[in-house]
């Protein structure tokens, strides 16, 4: 299973990548801005993208922009949106096509739960 973590907080995203790789998900990538995320999604077609809404000033778009584009160009890709602002964004993200929404901060084992749920929902491994 290919997994992409997209977060401008380098330490956090690298922590999740290391955790997933130790958990057996060796085909895990990371992006720190919207442009790199879109390039990796369109080129490598990950099964699951864990995507932060806020991608910082360096990014040319938000996580919402990435979600909107990927929902059209790669609808088979499941998107897990994340943000510290659940009340403001959860419904919007789900309406735009997100598979699930999680609140930050969260424990790394939450990612395993999401992967397992997505796999049970028919995602190819």
Out of 21-25, 42-46, 89-93, 108-112, pick the least confident.
108-112
| pLDDT higher than threshold 90 for residue 124 | no
Residue 125's pLDDT is what?
41
| pLDDT higher than threshold 60 for residue 75 | yes
CA distance 46 to 43: 9
CA gyration radius for the chain? 13
Question: How is 36-51 classified by DSSP, letter by letter?
Answer: HHHHHHHHH--SEEEE
Residue 86's pLDDT is what?
87
60 versus 94: the higher-pLDDT residue is 94
CA distance 28 to 10: 15
Task: Calculate the alpha carbon distances from 111 to 23, 27, 73, 108, 120 in Å.
Answer: 10, 15, 24, 6, 14
Q: What is the pLDDT of residues 17-42, one digit of tens each?
A: 999 999 999 999 999 999 999 999 99
CATH superfamily of 3-118: Response regulator (3.40.50.2300)
Q: Could you state, in order of their start, the residue ranges of all structural domains in the chain?
A: 3-118
Which residues are CB-contacts of 61 (< 8 A; sequence separation ≥ 6)?
Answer: 34, 35, 55
Give percent of the chain with pLDDT exceeding 70: 94
Residue 119's pLDDT is what?
80
């Amino acid at each position: 299973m290919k997994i992409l973590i997209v977060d401008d907080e380098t330490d956090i995203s690298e922590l999740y990548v290391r955790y997933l790789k130790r958990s057996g998900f060796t085909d895990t990538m990371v992006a720190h801005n919207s442009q790199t995320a879109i390039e990796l999604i369109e080129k490598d077609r990950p099964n699951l993208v864990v995507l932060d809404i806020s991608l910082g000033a360096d990014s040319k778009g938000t996580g919402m922009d990435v979600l909107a584009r990927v929902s059209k160009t790669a609808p088979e890709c499941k998107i897990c949106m994340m943000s510290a602002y659940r009340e403001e964004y959860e419904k919007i993200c789900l309406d735009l096509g997100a598979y699930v929404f999680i609140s930050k901060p969260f424990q790394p084992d939450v990612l395993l739960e999401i992967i397992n749920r997505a796999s049970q929902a028919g995602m190819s491994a």
